[in-house]
Amino acid sequence: MTTQLEPGHRIDDFVVDECLHTGGMAYIYRVHYADPERVAEFPLVMKVPRMAAGDGAENLIGFEVERDILAAARGPHVPRLVAAGDIAVPYLVMEYVQGSTLQDWLDQAPRRDALEIARLGALVAHALHSLHEREVCHLDLKPANVMIRDGDGAVLLDFGLSWHARNADLLADGLRVTVGSYAWIAPEQIVGVRGDPRSDLFAMGVILYEMCTGELPFGNPQTKDGLRQRFWMPPRPPRQLNPDVPDWLQEIILRCLEPKAENRYASAALLAFDLAHLDQVKVTQRGQATRGIGFWRNLWRWIGGGAANFRPSALPAAQSPRVPIVMVAVPYREATEATLQALRQAARRGLGNRPGARLACATVVIPGTNRIGDTMQTEVETHQRMLGYLRQWAETIDVGNHDVSYHVLESGDVAQALLSYAETNHVNLIIMGAATHGLQLQRLIATVPIKVAMQAPCTVMLVKA
């Protein structure tokens, strides 16, 4: 199959319909089952690698990589794999995801509202977190490879250049050239370092930058020298190109675009957290800048970047350690000082010596309980009062350089509110007070801690005073 297929062409159990996309590495066709009695559960597409005389070996290697990853990384954020051909007749049949790519969004409006950018960015970060949990790094993230489903939620596409911790890295073994889309790849990818999830976060920064400004932060270089400029040349601050970009969004973008991976977000979950809690973003000078760094600082960075030891590494044996989000459920009613102090100590232990871990302090307010004496407070007044309460509770915790955020949840079901928060924000550890009732009573009444411990999507630490 060296040329584009015509409608009606049959490959194994499938008949080709129209061609949807012609890319540099593959063709994508709508297909249906050849057997008229066999009806697909969802629309299907077939991806066929280009294998003409001038096409590179990476096309066929990418086909093998994508086949293996789609089979392993199942979930709501990747297309469902239906069938795959062999090397003699290579193809992939998968779910046709209905929606718009981020590239479509950019084509419709090069600049987007900051809140809409944050919403879309959070969807993509959640998808990346799901992918990384399955030990896969995408490594070719760009607007054309992100689909926003019609019913909301992001789906990642095109895994031909990806990396899986449990599979042989065919691209690293077979090719020693830079592979990827040059405008979006991270500095470490340029020198052959694959398998770092933070490379995908760099690409996220490029996407968010383009959505804010309508421009690519490093242009679209086509040479190795042009690519290597991102080792030392920082992009212009988005606020310099678009004064409407808020400082919190610039802070997030430029943190993603740090040339050294250790200075970026440590995980996609932490990026998604900031994009979902904009009032909690810690804005530094990075987020406030409206001009570039100037000639002399740029020269110094060039000297440092040129001397940096950027060398291709061996294949990483495992994913980078996960950096936890630790949530402490702080009760605001009938809580003794001994219990509150025990929660502080547990929070310190939960953060431990994990650089980059985040502490999220949360409390749940039950509607109708916003009364102080004889005065009924408004929801805003109650919210502000409870934020002050959480900050006061946390002020004696020595958190070092860890980020701390404060969250007031409102619900008549305290346990469900905590569970929903933990699931939505990819919390790794929930710390909360243990029930004070005896075991006999707990068998009859499912207390809030017991409900959370039984249903939580993560580890739960129950603390006694």
440 pLDDT above the threshold of 50: no
How many structural domains does the chain have? 3
Domain stop point among 61, 95, 129: 95
Instruction: Please write the tens of the pLDDT for every residue from 253-284.
Output: 999 999 988 899 989 999 999 999 999 999 99
- Catalytic one of 35, 113, 140, 274: 140
Q: What CATH number should be reported for the domain holding residue 203?
A: 1.10.510.10
| Structural domain contains residue 315 | no
Same domain as 58, residue 138: no
| Structural domain contains residue 312 | no
**Mean of pLDDT values over 298-313:** 53
pLDDT at 437: 46
Lowest-confidence segment of 91-100, 134-143, 290-299, 445-454 by average pLDDT? 290-299
215 pLDDT above the threshold of 90: yes
Mean pLDDT over the full length of the chain: 84
Same domain as 237, residue 122: yes
pLDDT at 375: 59
Same domain as 421, residue 395: yes
Same domain as 195, residue 153: yes
pLDDT at 91: 92
Same domain as 152, residue 291: yes
Domain stop point among 48, 64, 95: 95
pLDDT at 180: 74
Q: What CATH number should be reported for the domain holding residue 71?
A: 3.30.200.20
Cα–Cα distance for residue pair 462/367, rounded to 1 Å: 25
Same domain as 177, residue 286: yes
Residue 291: HSE in the Cβ half-sphere, 13 Å Cα cutoff: 5
301 pLDDT above the threshold of 90: no
Same domain as 359, residue 417: yes
pLDDT at 353: 74
More confident residue, 235 or 401: 235
Report the C-alpha dihedral over residues 318, 321, 327, 328, rounded to 10 degrees: 130
More confident residue, 387 or 321: 387
| Structural domain contains residue 320 | no
Cβ atoms within 10 Å, residue 412: 10
Burial of 242 (0-12, 13-18, 19+ CB in 10 A): middle
CB proximity list for 459: less than 8 A, separation 6 or greater: 428, 429, 430
Of the chain, the end-to-end C-alpha distance in Å amounts to 70
**Mean of pLDDT values over 235-249:** 95
207 pLDDT above the threshold of 80: yes
pLDDT at 177: 55
Burial of 41 (0-12, 13-18, 19+ CB in 10 A): exposed
pLDDT at 144: 93
**pLDDT interval class at 3 (50, 70, 90):** low
**Mean of pLDDT values over 317-324:** 52
User: What totals of helices (H) and strands (E) does the chain contain, helices first?
Assistant: 17, 18
Instruction: Please write the tens of the pLDDT for every residue from 347-385.
Output: 999 888 777 789 999 999 888 766 555 555 677 888 888
Instruction: Please write the tens of the pLDDT for every residue from 130-180.
Output: 999 888 999 999 999 999 998 789 999 999 889 888 777 767 655 545 667
Q: How far is CA 71 from CA 79, 159, 256, 353, in A?
A: 10, 11, 29, 36
Same domain as 208, residue 196: yes
| Structural domain contains residue 194 | yes
Domain stop point among 279, 307, 335: 307
Same domain as 301, residue 338: no
Same domain as 214, residue 256: yes
128 pLDDT above the threshold of 80: yes
Whether 150 sits among the annotated catalytic residues: the reply is no
Q: How far is CA 152 from CA 70, 156, 443, in A?
A: 21, 13, 40
| Structural domain contains residue 284 | yes
| Structural domain contains residue 319 | no
What is the residue range of 62's domain? 10-95
**Mean of pLDDT values over 184-206:** 90
Same domain as 363, residue 241: no
Provide the 8-state DSSP code for 353.
Answer: T
**Mean of pLDDT values over 200-222:** 94
Q: What CATH number should be reported for the domain holding residue 349?
A: 3.40.50.620
| Structural domain contains residue 130 | yes
| Structural domain contains residue 425 | yes
DSSP character string of 41-57: SS-EEEEEE--STT--T
Cα–Cα distance for residue pair 420/456, rounded to 1 Å: 9
Same domain as 268, residue 186: yes
pLDDT at 116: 94
Cα–Cα distance for residue pair 108/102, rounded to 1 Å: 10
